Amino acid sequence: MLRMRHLPKININISFFKKNKILAVLLGIFILLVLIAIYPAIELKLTKKSISEKGSKNFSSGVFGKFNRDTLDEITIKYPQTEKSSQESLTMKKSASGWVIEDVAVDQTKLNRFMDAIDTLSLGDLLSKNPKNHMELGVSDALGTFVTFRAGSDSLTFVVGIPSAVTGSFYVRLANSNDVYLMTSNLRNSIIIPKADWTKPDEIVP
């Protein structure tokens, strides 16, 4: 009868595998948390790159259709109050004699430039739906400039952010919405004028 040979004993360190399994699980959780944390930034950079390469594809949303130089009665600009910027907010109203700020006539040149910008407002591509991107794009409640148009019983408030990579465009968000769009217009350059300067003529440089 054949005798069974004794197989060599294999010592398996069970505790070693248990420890490594725990480390692997912890490492996996750590990597997942890192990806979750940086995903909004990655998503935003990829979207910015895409928009920068292809430009802004304009579409007619009808959002600003009711508001132009002929229909507007009142415009309010509320600037962000931060350590670097504390401009005084202002309200322009249309009177029988023209547009005024606290009964003082608005400079006609600045007014025309502003109205030209309003008449050419156009929303571009949707950039982000994530509220975590609002701070970086300058459209958060704390950093954005709130602009309110009023025409009769209709009103519209939107938040103007920082300039985008697309020439002549900036980021904009409609109030009470997380969606951020590109807007192509000279509006941003018009609304950064300090309140006191709206009623002063432009200085002529010799």
Q: What is the pLDDT of residues 143-160, one digit of tens each?
A: 999 999 999 999 999 999
Q: What is the pLDDT of residues 119-135, one digit of tens each?
A: 888 778 888 899 999 99
Residue 54, pLDDT > 80, answer: no
pTM: 0.68
- Three-state DSSP class for 200? coil
Sequence spans of domains, the chain:
74-199
Higher pLDDT, 10 or 28: 28
169 residue type, one letter: S
Higher pLDDT, 163 or 16: 163
Tokens 């002929």 locate to 70
Q: Compute the mean pLDDT over every residue in the chain, rounded to the nearest whole number.
A: 77
143 residue type, one letter: L
Q: What is Dmax (Cα atoms) for the chain?
A: 122
Listed residue (146, 40, 151, 170) closest to 93, CA to CA: 151
Listed residue (105, 171, 165, 106) closest to 140, CA to CA: 171
The residue-averaged pLDDT of 43-66 equals 49
Which DSSP helix (H) or strand (E) runs through 47? helix 14-54
Q: What is the pLDDT of residue 140?
A: 94
**Distance separating the N- and C-terminal Cα atoms of the chain:** 119
Instruction: Dig out the tokens for 60 from the structure.
Output: 């007619």
The residue-averaged pLDDT of 43-54 equals 46
